[in-house]
């Protein structure tokens, strides 16, 4: 799920950037500046949804903003809007689950997402309570505790929002994405660099990636 990684980096770095993405045969761009995404609500929401499902993503820092509008949607608001009612194709779901399996033990930060009409704020609060209770959040547990398909979708949306906005971070150090050095061009890293152990989750993730590419 490279798109999540690069959206997170854009937001955490807090520097002007352009995210170029390709979904199917269409290539498009989303600009980020002054803590917000450029465009109208509808436009930004749709672009973010496309980015979630993009085939390839590339981030360009220090882009030219001369031809873009001055309208900005604050990042938490934009992410909340893009995720409102968002459901996944089986391919995206499988990819999100694979992504979740790679997340280490986490800390969860509390942020007033309800101010930005985050539809799944209740689930986010419960996730935070789980973290407070245990001192750590295992996202894998959080997702697998879903009671039904709808609940799983909600939990995956919470994972996406909190990850992208930097509200979750690794429990053991090196957690701060802000320490990321700005790069001229960040090419998408391959997800095949996951754990070398031939555990069942690793095997399933490899199969998922292969079948997506059929």
Partner 1 sequence: MTESKQIVKLVITGPVNAGKTTMVQNLSDSQVAATDVAATDSVSQLKAMTTVGLDFGILKIDDTLEMHLFGTPGQSRFNFMWKILSKGAIGAIFLVDSTCDESMLEMKKMFLYFSEHVDLPVVVGATKQDLPGAKTPDEIAAFLELGDTMVIPVDARDKESGKMLTLTLLGNALVEAQADEDYDDDYDTEDLF
* 21 contacts: CB under 8 Å, gap ≥ 6: 3, 27, 28, 29, 30, 50, 51, 54, 56, 57, 58
Shorter beta-carbon distance to partner 1: residue 114 or 172 = 172
Which has the closest alpha carbon to 167: 204, 123, 212?
Answer: 123
Q: Does 93 bind partner 1 (CB under 8 A)?
A: yes
Whole-Å CA distances, 169 to 11, 37, 176: 14, 23, 7
Q: How far is the CB of 170 from partner 1 (least distance, A)?
A: 6
Q: One symbol per residue from 52 to 91: x for binding partner 1 (CB under 8 A), - otherwise; what is it? A: -------------------------------------xxx
Shorter beta-carbon distance to partner 1: residue 51 or 73 = 51
Beta strands in the chain (DSSP E): 17-23, 26-33, 36-38, 56-61, 72-74, 106-108, 168-170, 185-187
Shorter beta-carbon distance to partner 1: residue 43 or 140 = 140
β-pairing, 185-187 with 56-61?
Answer: antiparallel
Shorter beta-carbon distance to partner 1: residue 90 or 122 = 90
Q: Does 134 bind partner 1 (CB under 8 A)?
A: no
* Residues of the shown chain interacting with partner 1 in the complex, contacts defined by CB under 8 A: 5, 89-91, 93-94, 97-98, 101-105, 138, 140-141, 143-144, 148-149, 152, 169-170, 174-177, 189, 192-195, 197-201, 203-208, 210-212, 214
């Amino acid at each position: 799920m490279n798109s999540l990684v690069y959206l997170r980096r854009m937001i955490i770095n807090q520097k002007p950037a352009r995210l170029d993405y390709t979904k199917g045969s269409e290539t498009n761009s989303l600009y980020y500046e002054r803590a917000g995404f450029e465009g109208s609500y509808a436009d930004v929401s749709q672009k973010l949804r496309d980015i979630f499902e993009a085939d390839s993503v590339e981030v360009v820092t220090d882009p030219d903003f001369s031809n873009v509008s001055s309208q900005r949607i604050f990042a938490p608001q934009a992410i909340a809007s893009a995720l409102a009612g968002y459901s996944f194709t089986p391919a995206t779901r499988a990819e999100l689950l694979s992504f979740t399996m790679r997340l280490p033990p986490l800390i969860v930060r509390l942020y007033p997402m309800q101010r930005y009409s985050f539809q799944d704020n209740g689930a986010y609060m419960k996730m935070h309570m789980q973290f407070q209770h245990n001192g750590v959040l295992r996202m894998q547990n959080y997702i697998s505790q879903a009671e039904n398909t709808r609940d799983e979708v909600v939990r995956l949306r919470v994972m996406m929002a909190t990850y992208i906005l930097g509200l979750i971070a690794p429990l053991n150090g090196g957690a701060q994405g802000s320490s990321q050095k700005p790069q001229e061009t960040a090419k998408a890293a391959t997800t095949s660099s996951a754990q070398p152990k031939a555990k069942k989750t690793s095997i399933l993730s490899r199969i998922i990636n292969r079948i997506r590419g059929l």
